[in-house]
Amino acid sequence: MGYPDQRFDVNLSILFTELPLLERPAAAAAAGFTAVELWWPWIETPTPPQAELDALKKALDDVGTQLVGLNFYAGQLPGPDRGALSVPGEESDRFRANIEVAADFAASVGCTALNALYGNRVEGADPQVQDALALENLVLAARAADGVGAILLVETLNKPESPLYPLVSAPAAIEVVDRVNAATGLGNAKFLLDLYHLSMNGEDLSQVIKAYAAKTGHVQIADNPGRGAPGTGDLPLERLLDELKDAGYAGWVGLEYKPGERPSADSFDWLPPSARAAG
């Protein structure tokens, strides 16, 4: 049990950001990791030129890193946005334009998990209208994901850092997951359980794990306070990951923490090099 018993991947949108995007897979590989995940890297466009998609695929393939998670287009992230799919008008259109692009790219690199961030509440927009739009778009995304053998992830964020994001508890995200699965009949919508976000919301993490491990498709971690590497805060992350494993979760654990002032490569001292390569 413990950290060496997990399958870790590195989030290249928060770690190794001191490097250009196309150099990050090699940096993760040099640190001993064989799996990575990404937020949508092209924040300005849901439909980047094919040459840029091909270049990212080559950067992953050249060093043998497996992309295990990818966000759909989510607006300005990092930045003020927290997704596009529930935002009426142009942002919803951009999300829809991205669905096939993201799914096709995921298929091209063997990525089987696509994360659809819900989007912020918009001043002047009826929350019920936003939720109806979200369900429409999530159904489209779930079908596209299923078409390439992938799951669709729905993520809880935290209210202090994302005050306009409506899914700020585990039950809120689970409700959306259940609604999408009921609408599609596919069963491929899953919960993205982020222990940092849930802890920021003050949730009982052990209880969340017991209640929702079976509906969890991906896990992300950072310590709290500070969103740093394990051991920089107070969360019993090793114990919580053991609890997830005991509850039947056998998927990836994404390292989505800030390295602090040091280079990203120096932030993995909590994890033995022998435990970084995932089989």
By annotation, the residues acting in catalysis are 155, 256
Residues in the chain, how many? 279
Strand residues in the chain grouped as ranges (E):
7-11, 35-38, 66-71, 113-115, 151-155, 189-194, 216-221, 252-255
Measured between its terminal Cα atoms, the distance across the chain in Å is 16
> Among residues 98, 101, 106, which one has the least CA distance to residue 74?
98
> Among residues 98, 69, 100, 73, which one has the least CA distance to residue 84?
73
In single-letter form, the type of residue at position 194 comes to: D
What secondary structure does DSSP assign to 224-279, as a single string?
TTTS-STTSSS--HHHHHHHHHHTT--SEEEE----TTS-GGGG-TTS-GGGTS--
Phi then psi for 83, rounded to 5 degrees?
120, 170
Please say whether the beta carbons of 115 and 155 come within 8 A: yes
